[in-house]
Amino acid sequence: MESDEEKRRFQRLMLTLPVSYTAFHPESGELHQGEGTLKDFSLSGVYFHSVEPVPLQLGHIVTLTITTPLAPINHLDSACIQAQAEIVRLEGPSPDNCYHGVAVSFLEFPCFRDAANAVNCTN
């Protein structure tokens, strides 16, 4: 029997970095923004924790911005990784964990941006 690690296409890196997300709720058209803490990263997606409930559902599309400790691109601000992603798993808090878990799958290859220009990778 294969383990979850053997089934994954890409190796996961266990990282703790700030992450923020922005999404339009498809049914209501409302803009939702939130923050969390990245827990793991791979070339196919990420998993992060949020203290607040994430008001989105499976299949919703989010823009993620992950702040990294990498050298700034323009030497004036911190570098970020940004990508469009689809929510593939949501987890509620448990008795021993008060966080909401969010797993997303990248819809495009993540790109590096400086934090001041991390609004849209296609600019």
Q: Provide the residue-wise pLDDT of the chain in tens; the chain has 123 residues.
A: 444 555 567 778 788 999 999 998 877 888 999 999 999 999 899 999 999 888 889 999 999 999 887 665 555 556 788 999 999 999 999 888 899 999 999 998 888 776 555 544 443
Q: Is residue 22 part of a domain?
A: yes
3-state SS, residue 30 = coil
Q: Is residue 92 part of a domain?
A: yes
Range of the domain at 53: 4-117
3-state SS, residue 48 = strand
Q: What's the predicted TM-score (pTM) here? A: 0.78
Q: How many domains does the chain have?
A: 1
- State the CATH number of the domain containing residue 31: 2.40.10.220
Q: Is residue 122 part of a domain?
A: no
3-state SS, residue 13 = strand
Q: Is residue 109 part of a domain?
A: yes
Q: Is residue 123 part of a domain?
A: no
